[in-house]
Chains A and B, each alone.
Chain A
Amino acid sequence: MVTRRDFIKAGLLTVAGMAIPISALEMFKPEAMASLVRSFSEKKRWAFVVDTTKCVGCGMCAKACKLENEIPFEAEVQRTWVERYIQLKDGDVIIDSPKGAREGFTSNDPYGHEVKDEEITKQFYVPKLCNQCEKPSCVQVCPAGATYKTEDGVSLVDRSWCIGCGYCITNCPYFARFFNPVTNTADKCTFCYHRITKGKQTACIDACAFGVRKIGYINDPNSEVFKIISSKRVAVLKPEYGNEPHVFYLGLDQIVR
């Protein structure tokens, strides 16, 4: 038989359990309700293009990013980094990114072992950064409301609200997040939000002399990224996760992980 005490206990537990979804529902604000029916497509949405066929692995982008965004230069964390892929004749693939390529690739010795030209079938460089996903898992898992996506599609971290639990860091399928040793919060590429909203390019784009990186509105027919994405063969990393990344790669090889 259900006693009165049990009934109240169960009732209060239900309320406590409901507390989480309830606090996520902003039911009294009309603009919040309106936002539910407004579609994403009418809005300007940032996207990025990386042309891996042009990248030489100089790492100037990684260096510029560290300086621009005040990520301590010597720390082993970076918002953008460059990976080197070497496919050997015996089928093995070597992937390395020494110091996130902030000092560039200057010799062919991944992990200190020289690789001879005749052993290689192909080799190339793949710059990586946060993909500013349309459905960012990092935002979804944040229990504090510290990670969010702006209306124009960029995911940002609120440094005053981040509790440093690291949930987002382990949840990003692209390993784009890290723990900033200075602010003690989660950190990641912001697409240089402070620059693109002022009409500038990101620091990594400016630093790259090879035209590998490009940014623009994906839904503006005049933007270069729109033209590339809509007319060329592009690919995104790990589409199977359903995050809908907005960094598009030209010349992406199937050995890229």
Chain B
Amino acid sequence: MKMSHAWRPVILIVGAVVFLLIFRTIYVPGDFTAKSGDYKYQWHSLKNEKYWTDYPVKYMGQEFCGQCHSDKVEKIKASGHQKVQCEDCHVMTSKPDKKHPVDLKEDFKYLLEIGVDSSRELCKRCHAKLPFRPAEYSESSKGTIKFNMIDPKTHNAGIECVTCHDVHTAGFK
């Protein structure tokens, strides 16, 4: 029986759909799927979630440094600087000026460059008197305390704060 002329284009179009589906199966990796939610949001490579959960942790805080420097960490925990993490002052964003005596990268898988930033600029980040900077500090375990601010222009300008202040006790030397 002779096929109606209308069937041929229909077959061609159905063929194109089938080809597309097959091509997609080959081209798109197997882990590329919609995991949850609706399709327009969730179409992605599931492997990549592991890439992000496996990303290395670098900023470790007092707990890590306390393994060797327990004296310093105890001191700071008892002071007004109790919630300041070691890295806030001891991690270098440029070349470290003082190397850590133990190779932290090799031995402890600690990944940041250690040095000491004792610049006036660093202390000013919290202690320079700016209008409307909160005057009270409420995160201390001793309750709300006054937040110490100075005017950097008049308060011993030009001298590093650590000349007189011990940052680990948050008091005078």
Q: Tell me if A11 and B133 are in contact (CB < 8 A).
A: no
Give bound CA distance, A146 to B20, whole Å. 21
Q: Which residues of B contact A148 (CB under 8 A)?
A: 41-44, 48
| Known contacts A8-B9, A139-B41, A104 near B124 by CB under 8 Å | yes
Q: Which residues of B contact A73 (CB under 8 A)?
A: 93-94
Q: Which residues of B contact A117 (CB under 8 A)?
A: 131
| Known contacts A25-B39, A120-B132, A106 near B121 by CB under 8 Å | yes
Q: Does A198 contact B (CB under 8 A)?
A: yes
Q: What distance in Å separates the Cβ of A109 from its nearest Cβ neighbour in chain B?
A: 10
Give bound CA distance, A4 to B6, whole Å. 9
Give bound CA distance, A53 to B139, whole Å. 13
For A14-43 the 0/1 string (1 means CB < 8 A from B) is 110011001111100100100110101001
Chain A: number of interface residues, binned into ranges: 35 or more
| Known contacts A105-B125, A210-B137, A22 near B20 by CB under 8 Å | yes
Q: Tell me if A12 and B20 are in contact (CB < 8 A).
A: no
Q: Which residues of A contact B1 (CB under 8 A)?
A: none
Q: Which residues of A contact B41 (CB under 8 A)?
A: 135-136, 139-140, 148-149
Q: Tell me if B59 and A203 are in contact (CB < 8 A).
A: yes
Q: Tell me if A123 and B132 are in contact (CB < 8 A).
A: yes
**Could you say which of A8, A29, A67 contacts B33, with CB atoms under 8 Å apart?**
A29
Q: Does A247 contact B (CB under 8 A)?
A: no
Q: Does A181 contact B (CB under 8 A)?
A: no
Q: Tell me if A24 and B39 are in contact (CB < 8 A).
A: yes
Q: Tell me if B121 and A103 are in contact (CB < 8 A).
A: yes
Q: Tell me if A206 and B61 are in contact (CB < 8 A).
A: yes
Q: A8-B9, A23-B28 are in contact. List 14 more A-B contacts (CB 8 A).
A: A15-B20, A32-B33, A35-B34, A54-B134, A60-B125, A63-B88, A67-B93, A103-B121, A103-B125, A140-B40, A149-B42, A193-B55, A207-B87, A211-B138
